[in-house]
Amino acid sequence: MAVTAMSNDRVRRSVLELDGARLTIHDAIDVSRRGRRVRLSERAAHAVRASWALKHRLIEQEIPIYGVTTGFGDSAHRQISSAKADKLQQNILRFMGVGTGPLAPPEVVRVTMLLRANCLAKGNSGVRVELVEHLLDLLNSDALPRIPERGSCGASGDLAPLSYVGRALAGDGLVDFAGATRPAADVLAKLGLEPFVLEAKEGLALTNGTSFMSAFACLAAGAAHELADVADLLTAMASEALLGNRGHFNAFLFDDAKPHPGMVASAHNIRELLAESGLALDSDERFSGGLDGAQFVELDRHVQDKYSIRCAPHVTGVLRDVLSWVEDWIAVEINSSDDNPLFNVGGGRVESGGNFYGGHMGQAMDSLKVALANLCDLLDRQLELLVDEKFNYGLTPNLIPRFAASDPEAGLHHGFKGMQLCCSAMTAEAIKLCNPATVHSRSTEAHNQDKVSMGTIAARDARSIVELAQNIAAIHLIACCQALELRGADHA
C-alpha cells in the first residue's frame, strides 16, 4: 500500500500540459482518480489565439459562419448580425440543458472536462485562451458540474451532457464541490473566479464534441485491461482448484502454433502463474506408464480440461487484441478537434464538417462490449465448474465446508450456490447489453441530424459491462480462494 500511496502522491505533484496532441488514456485515468493537475501549454495557447483571431476577421467580413452568425442545426439558414453572436452562445447552453437519468460519476466528469480542454487546446475552435484556462481552473479545483448521463445521440457530439460543463463555467446550474452540491455561481465566487461570459462560437465549441462518450471510453478501456489480467489470474487459480492440465498453456501452442498477440500474452501470464503448481500438472506429470498389457483402462481424469479452462487465453486474448485497436482509436479521438465548424488558420478560412460524429467511439465501444461480455461468460462457466460436485474433482458441493455426517450442521449449508446464480444473472445482463448501439441511429432534429452515432450509449453500456465483469470477477476470486483452501493448496 505504501508504494501505491507514493505513486499517487507523485502523480498529484506532477502537472499535465495540454497541447491537443499528446494526451493518453493513462493521463485521463490519472486525472480522473488521482487529482493530477492540468495546465495549457504555451504552444497550445499560441494556436488558440491564432484561431480566435481568424474567427474575428471572418466575422467582420459578415459571411455566414455556422453556429457563430447563424442558428444551430436545421436553423443554419437563419443568419444573425455579429451583435447577436455572443447571446446566441448563451442560449445553446440553456436549450441543450435537457439531460436526464443518473448523474455521471465524478471520474467521468473529470475526464470529460479534461478532454474538452484538450480539444480546444488544439487551436481550431476559435475560442479564447481564457475559456480553456477557466475550464482547467474548475477541473483543478475539483469543482464538477452535475451531468445527467442520458440525452446524447452522439452527433452533433454530446450536446446535452457538455452543455452542463458550459453552464458551470458561466455560473449557472449545480456543481459538486468539497463534498457538497452547490450553485455554480457560489462555487465560482469561493474559488475567486468570475462567471465566464461566452462570446461568439464559444458555447458551441464547448458542447459540440465527443468528450463525454470519450471519457466513458477511456475509463472502460483502462478497466478492461485490468480485467484481462485478473481473468488470467482467476483462470490459473481455477485450473489449480480443478487439478487442471497446465500443459494447455504451453508456449508452443501460442508462441509458435497460433500467435495472436493477446492470446500469447494471456497464455504467458497463466503459464507463469502455474509454473510451480503442485496441483495443476503438465500432461507428462499427470499420466505416466501405459496400458500395462491391458486393452482398455479407465483414466481417473480427462486428458483435456473443459473449454472454459483450456480455451481461456482464446477469450481473454481476444479482449486484449480488441483493446489494442480500441486504444488506438481513443488516442486519435481525444487528441482531435471534434468540433464544428473549425477555423483553418493556415488556410485562412472556416471549415464546416462532421468531426463531432462519434462513429469511431461508438464502434470501438460496441466491440469492446462483446469482448467483455465473453469474459463474463468465461468466468461464470469457470465458477460453475468449481461449485458443481459433478465437475470439481472431489471438492465439496457448492464449496461448502466439509462436515462429518454426524455434525449438526451437515446438510444445512449451500455455500456458493447463490453466488453462482448471481454471476449467471449478471452475465446474462452483460450479454444483453451487447446489443450494438451504433445500429440504432435515429433521424432527428428536423432530419438535419438524419444519421447519428449513438456512441455515447455504446460507451455507457461498455461502462456497465465493465462493472458487471468486476463484480463477477470478485465472486469468482472468493470462490477460488475457498476451493483452494478446501483442496489444501497451501500444502501442495
Residues marked active site are found at: 66
Q: What is the C-alpha separation between 378 and 381, in angstroms, rounded?
A: 5
Q: Which residue's C-alpha cell is 444551430?
A: 72
Q: What is the C-alpha separation between 200 and 88, in angstroms, rounded?
A: 8
Can you tell me whether residue 289 is helix, strand or coil?
coil
Cell numbers linked to 20: 491537443
- DSSP run (H or E) holding 18: strand 15-18
Cell numbers linked to 6: 507514493
Radius of gyration of the CA atoms of the chain, in A? 28
Q: Identify whether 401 is preceded by a cis peptide bond (ω within 30 of 0).
A: no
Q: What is the C-alpha separation between 475 and 72, in angstroms, rounded?
A: 50
Distance of CA 127 to the CA centre of its chain: 29
Cell numbers linked to 275: 509454473
What's the farthest any 2 CA atoms get from each other in the chain?
A: 100
Q: What is the C-alpha separation between 233 and 250, in angstroms, rounded?
A: 16
Distance of CA 65 to the CA centre of its chain: 35
Number of other residues whose CB lies within 10 A of the CB of residue 135? 24
Q: What is the C-alpha separation between 445 and 155, in angstroms, rounded?
A: 11
Q: What is the C-alpha separation between 285 and 276, in angstroms, rounded?
A: 13
Task: Name beta bridge partners: 349.
Answer: 344
- Residue pair 386/483 in contact (Cβ under 8 Å)? The answer is yes
- DSSP run (H or E) holding 371: helix 359-387
162 CB-contact burial (10 Å; exposed 0-12 / middle 13-18 / buried 19+): buried
Q: What is the C-alpha separation between 468 and 213, in angstroms, rounded?
A: 19
Sheet holding 144-145, edge to edge: 144-145, 174-177, 180-183
The single-letter DSSP state of residue 37 is E
- Residue pair 488/392 in contact (Cβ under 8 Å)? The answer is no
Enumerate residues 6+ apart whose C-beta is below 8 A from 102.
Answer: 148, 149, 150
CA dihedral 137, 143, 145, 149 (to 10 degrees): 110
